[in-house]
């Protein structure tokens, strides 16, 4: 029995056309844990056409049947719904595999003949999507290989579509991001490129625009007159683990702030778009990035805090410090925690600080956007300065439980005029009784119909890197040889608490 769920909204999209999805890096975790389970759930929701194909490719030697068995194991383990034998039987007949190296021209010649044969056998119209689930240094050779083999074609309404999906990170600084974008642009038009960030596919993230622009109670007060500040928090409950050597070259600012958190900021701070057209929405988002006050020079010390986790206890077990992890240099200054104070310099947000924080080895895994409204005047129910009234807060929970809450002040039952803050909660699981679609389901469906609203455009990628790079340059100039530490399992360094308390504010308890 297939568990019912909340399906994606068919009415929002035109019908999905039959197509072939080619996944580079198909033997990796992303395909097994996210992509194939997402496609399977789309099929369960009747959102995929009856005729489609998925071709996986990587260096690993596998037959079609071995690939199908590997993908079924992934669906059994990671899908939000169990395997339905009849649906899976239909699904696996559309899964194919081809091994090869991305630097070998024969790989692309073989891929072309395989795709064309599948398209002919299944009577597919030739629509193609290429998913690059590989490291960024593989993007350029894959694009060149696809082009030289004749697997790609420019956008043309009279011709089948051809699209490419690339995973983050898009570079490690501004210049490398530009290099990747140039490599993509040599083969694909910008309208064909979908830079994916799974955070933007989460229900609560999508709901930010709905909350703001579909409810008359919020948009009139979504500005400097009523909002005191905004906090965006992304907590990770694990250390770097096996990714230590990779993380040592990246750090929290590049890993989380440059993409996920800045995109959340854009959705919270953007002006109302005049339509839901993809480029109109993305224009509104990039205006926020362009309006960020640069953090340079002495401002780097005042507006940022970075730290590393040290020894501590996490989930009841002892944990080594970051500099003790295999692959990490003993004198490392790579941050596993960062806190920032941002200012959006426009009329709506003048004087409203945005506090961002993210870190590893924190007490729990959680992400939220919290909008704190200004205090009420110190009269009536807020007349006693020794016991100030708690402020109203709208908190959007992104993970692990998706939903939102609004803190309001209520009278305590009884004869006295006593007040107490209460939370009005909305939880997706409780409201709809069943699981909501995974982020990759929504994003893959958007690519199939050509809706780029939730994907990053080239100018946005480069604008975010330009802003982040100034902070990285400032840290380099500081020349610190050791960062503050926080014990694993703590909420971050004392310096981060001092940082926000200097403004008369405090981090929210997650």
Compute how many other C-beta atoms are within 10 angstroms of the C-beta atom of residue 443. 23
Quickly count helices (H) and strands (E) in the chain. 17, 17
Q: Which residues carry out catalysis?
A: 260
Buried residues in 183-193 as b, exposed as e (16+ CB within 10 A) = bbeebbeeebb
* Gyration radius of the chain over CA positions: 24
B/e letters for 388-410, b = 16+ CB within 10 Å, e = fewer, are ebbebbbbbbbbeebbbbbbeee
CB burial of 84-123 (b: ≥16 within 10 Å; e: otherwise) equals beeebeebbebbbbbbbebeeeebbbbbbebbeebbeeee
Strand, coil or helix: 353: strand
Cis geometry, peptide bond prior to residue 400 (ω within 30 degrees of 0): yes
Contact (Cβ atoms closer than 8 angstroms) between residue 370 and residue 395:
yes
Q: Are 67 and 95 in contact (CB under 8 A)?
A: yes
Q: Report how far residue 34's alpha carbon sits from residue 18's, in angstroms, rounded to the nearest whole number.
A: 21
Dihedrals φ, ψ of 128, to 5°?
-135, 140
Q: Which of 249, 93, 97, 103 has its CA nearest to residue 176?
A: 249
Under 8 Å between Cβ of 183 and 309? no
Are 55 and 115 in contact, with CB atoms under 8 Å apart?
yes
Query: What SS3 state is found at 403?
Result: strand
* Cis amide prior to 126 (ω within 30 degrees): no
Q: HSE on the CB side for 365, CA within 13 Å?
A: 8
């Amino acid at each position: 029995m297939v568990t019912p769920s909340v399906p994606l909204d068919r009415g929002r999209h035109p019908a999905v056309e039959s197509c072939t999805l080619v996944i580079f890096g198909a033997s990796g975790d992303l395909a097994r844990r996210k992509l194939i389970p997402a496609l399977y759930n789309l099929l369960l929701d009747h959102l995929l056409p009856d005729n489609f194909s998925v071709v996986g490719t990587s260096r690993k030697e596998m037959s079609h049947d071995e690939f199908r068995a590997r993908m079924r194991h992934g669906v059994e383990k990671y899908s939000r719904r169990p395997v339905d034998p009849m649906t899976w039987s239909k699904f696996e007949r559309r899964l194919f595999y081809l091994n090869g190296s991305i630097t070998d021209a024969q790989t692309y010649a073989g891929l072309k003949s395989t795709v064309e044969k599948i398209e002919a056998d299944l009577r597919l119209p030739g629509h193609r999507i290429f998913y690059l689930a590989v490291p960024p240094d593989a993007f350029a050779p894959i694009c060149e290989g696809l082009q030289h083999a004749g697997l790609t074609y420019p956008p043309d309404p009279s011709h089948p579509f051809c699209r490419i999906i690339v995973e983050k990170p898009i570079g490690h600084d501004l210049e490398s991001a530009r290099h990747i974008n140039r490599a993509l642009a040599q083969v694909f038009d910008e309208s064909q490129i979908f830079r994916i960030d799974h955070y933007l596919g989460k229900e609560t993230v999508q709901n930010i625009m709905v909350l703001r622009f579909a409810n008359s109670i919020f948009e009139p007060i979504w500005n400097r007159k009523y909002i005191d500040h905004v906090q965006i928090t992304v907590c990770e409950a694990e250390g770097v683990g096996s990714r230590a050597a990779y993380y040592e070259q990246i750090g929290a600012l590049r890993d989380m702030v440059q993409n996920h958190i800045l995109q959340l900021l854009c959705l919270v701070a953007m002006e109302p778009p005049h339509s839901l057209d993809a480029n109109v929405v993305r224009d509104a988002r990039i205006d926020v990035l362009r309006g960020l006050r640069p953090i340079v020079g002495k401002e780097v010390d005042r507006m940022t805090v970075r730290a590393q986790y040290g020894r501590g206890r996490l989930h009841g077990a002892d944990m080594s410090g970051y500099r003790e992890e295999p692959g990490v240099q003993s004198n490392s200054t790579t941050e596993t925690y960062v806190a920032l104070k941002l200012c959006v310099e426009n009329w709506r947000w003048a004087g409203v600080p945005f506090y961002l924080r993210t870190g590893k080895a924190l007490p729990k895994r959680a992400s939220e956007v919290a909008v704190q409204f200004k205090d009420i005047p110190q009269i009536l129910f807020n007349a006693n300065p020794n016991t100030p009234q708690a402020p109203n807060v709208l908190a959007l929970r992104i993970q692990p439980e998706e939903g939102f809450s609004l803190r309001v002040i209520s009278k305590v039952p009884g004869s006295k005029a006593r007040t107490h803050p209460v939370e009005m909660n909305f939880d997706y699981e409780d409201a709809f009784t069943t699981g909501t679609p995974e982020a990759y389901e929504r994003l893959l469906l958007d690519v199939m119909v050509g809706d780029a609203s939730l994907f990053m455009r080239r100018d946005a990628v480069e604008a975010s890197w330009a802003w982040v790079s100034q902070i990285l340059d400032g840290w380099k100039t500081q020349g610190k040889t050791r960062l503050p530490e926080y014990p694993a399992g703590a909420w971050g360094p004392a310096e981060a608490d001092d940082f926000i308390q200097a403004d008369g504010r405090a981090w929210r308890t997650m």
